[in-house]
A = this chain, B = another copy of it.
Amino acid sequence: MTHDGSGFFDRISARTAENYPSDIHKLFASAGIPGIISFAGGAPHLGELPFDELAEWAGDILTGQGGLALQYSAAQGLPVLRESIVSVMRMEGIEAEPDDVVVTAGSQLGLDLVTKTLVDPGDVIIAEAPSYAGGLGVLASYQADIRTANCDADGVIPAEVDELITAAEGEGKPVKFVYTIPSFQNPSNTTLTEERRAELVEICRRHDVLIVEDNPYGLLSFDGVANRAMKADNPDGVLYLGSFSKIFGPGLRVGWMVAPRELQDVLVVGNEITMLNAPTFNQLLIARYLSDFDWQGKLGQMRELYRHKSRCMLESLERHMPPGTTWNEPDGGFYIWVTVPEGVNTDQLAYDCVPRGVTFVPGTAFYRAGGDRQMRLSYCLATPDQIETGIAAIGTVLTEHLAGEGASQTETAAAR
């Protein structure tokens, strides 16, 4: 990645210049090195999807409805898909009508649209620490003043959110929304408890602040019991972002949102201005998958697979991590969040793991500041064998770092 400061690059917008990714961003490319074991991405396991049926449905759609599938469509999304989405959300306690749903080209673009629609430069957004790197990237790209409330084992700490809102009010700066991933959070894989959900909703109601509930992992509980969405009990105060990326396939780029009523029209118009409509063919294909297939049964198999992989990774961690290293035990989702002993820097650890054939995302990617003793390990895509091999390699490099044998900063900087 070069940006030599010449020509037009000198004149990029402030929102872009302020948020140009740090060097650590380059590390993400290491996940693409052939043969490397990657615990870096949040890519779902797709090997069990019914590809033959999908091929048949895609064929049906193109031969039977090709003129619809390949044409522009309504910015709000196709009714047939919005109807299915309502059923999906009902599993999380949300009672919505198809007309409440806005289909987006992925929930990442949904968050982008929400931020574009609501946030002026300098407006305060409260996010979780840690939080999804890509989500923080979107918020920063609109020059939000991002303030963070810490998470503990029960999810984000409501009292901290309350304090941050109160402080911003004291400064006369509006808090545009609280950005939360309440279930199987990325990266910490904590789930906000029921009590805290109610508390957070109540705090935001009292301060009249919108909650943006980003929920890609909500249906990935290992016990198969879906958490009740915050949107369910507070439809007017929560904007819900949904995704098919983790429960079906991200390559179709289809997600959705359900906003408080008074925001829906402006979001539909914004979706139209930004990209006209989410891909039509993809909407039809997903609608078919949801209506003609036992997708919940498939999801049950996926959950079991992810549970198994998480157990493999936990066992490998027990075997290979040096004492003083800690981690969570997942109940769902994709990630194990590891804290290494003092004296080790996980950015440095990540660089040094690449030549040893394994990659992960260091904690700094998930914080506005800090995170240099954390790392996110994804168990979603690797095989059990890869998990054992990769964790063993990380354990070796970590042990070397603890013994003061890590690659020197100078060597590594040169290798970047």
Residue of B nearest to A106 (CB): B275
CB < 8 Å neighbour of A112 from B4, B6, B274: B274
B278 touches A4 (CB 8 A): no
How extensive is the interface on chain A, given as a class?
A: 35 or more
Q: Assuming the A-B contacts A12-B266, A66-B54, A250-B70, are A274 and B109 also in contact, with contact meaning beta carbons closer than 8 angstroms in the complex?
A: yes
Q: Which residues of B contact A277 (CB under 8 A)?
A: 253
Q: Please encode chain A, from 47 to 64, with 1 for each CB lying within 8 Å of some chain B CB and 0 for all others.
A: 101011011101110110
Measured in the bound complex, the distance between the Cα atoms of B269 and A160 in whole Å is 32
B273 touches A141 (CB 8 A): yes
Q: Which of A8-23 contact B (CB under 8 A)?
A: 8-9, 11-16, 19-21
Q: Assuming the A-B contacts A46-B67, A70-B49, are A251 and B141 also in contact, with contact meaning beta carbons closer than 8 angstroms in the complex?
A: no
A274 touches B63 (CB 8 A): no
Measured in the bound complex, the distance between the Cα atoms of B13 and A176 in whole Å is 9
Q: Which residues of B contact A272 (CB under 8 A)?
A: 134
CB < 8 Å neighbour of A47 from B67, B73, B275: B67
A384 beta carbon closer than 8 Å to chain B: no
Residue of B nearest to A176 (CB): B11
- Per assembly, the copies of the chain total 2
A225 beta carbon closer than 8 Å to chain B: no
A281 beta carbon closer than 8 Å to chain B: yes
Q: Please encode chain A, from 106 to 149, with 1 for each CB lying within 8 Å of some chain B CB and 0 for all others.
A: 10110010001111100100000000001001100110000000
Measured in the bound complex, the distance between the Cα atoms of B68 and A46 in whole Å is 9
A55 touches B49 (CB 8 A): no
A41 touches B72 (CB 8 A): yes
Q: Please encode chain A, from 222 to 264, with 1 for each CB lying within 8 Å of some chain B CB and 0 for all others.
A: 0000000000000010000000010011111100000010110
Q: Which residues of B contact A260 (CB under 8 A)?
A: 7-8
A315 beta carbon closer than 8 Å to chain B: no
B13 touches A69 (CB 8 A): no
CB < 8 Å neighbour of A58 from B32, B52, B58: B58
Q: Which residues of B contact A55 (CB under 8 A)?
A: 58-60, 62-63, 66
B119 touches A4 (CB 8 A): no
Measured in the bound complex, the distance between the Cα atoms of B6 and A20 in whole Å is 36
A281 touches B252 (CB 8 A): yes
CB < 8 Å neighbour of A16 from B49, B106, B266: B266
Q: Which residues of B contact A1 (CB under 8 A)?
A: 265, 269
A43 beta carbon closer than 8 Å to chain B: yes
Min CB distance, A361 to chain B, in Å? 14
A409 beta carbon closer than 8 Å to chain B: no
B266 touches A279 (CB 8 A): no
A3 beta carbon closer than 8 Å to chain B: yes
Residue of B nearest to A16 (CB): B117
Q: Which residues of B contact A43 (CB under 8 A)?
A: 71-72
B279 touches A3 (CB 8 A): no
Can you list 28 A-B pairs, Cβ within 8 angstroms, ordered by A? A1-B265, A4-B262, A6-B262, A7-B262, A8-B262, A11-B176, A13-B116, A14-B120, A16-B117, A16-B118, A19-B273, A51-B62, A51-B66, A52-B63, A58-B58, A69-B249, A70-B248, A71-B250, A71-B251, A72-B245, A105-B253, A105-B279, A112-B273, A137-B273, A138-B274, A251-B281, A253-B276, A282-B282
A residues near B, CB below 8 A? 1-4, 6-9, 11-16, 19-21, 25, 32, 41, 43-44, 46-47, 49, 51-52, 54-56, 58-60, 62-63, 66-74, 105-106, 108-109, 112, 116-120, 123, 134, 137-138, 141-142, 174, 176, 210, 236, 245, 248-253, 260, 262-263, 265-266, 269-270, 272-282
* 14 extra A-B contacts, CB within 8 A, seeds A4-B262, A70-B249, A70-B250: A2-B265, A6-B262, A11-B174, A13-B118, A13-B142, A46-B70, A51-B63, A68-B251, A70-B248, A105-B275, A105-B279, A251-B279, A252-B281, A281-B282
Closest 7 CB pairs of A and B: A70-B249, A251-B280, A55-B59, A51-B66, A58-B58, A70-B251, A55-B62
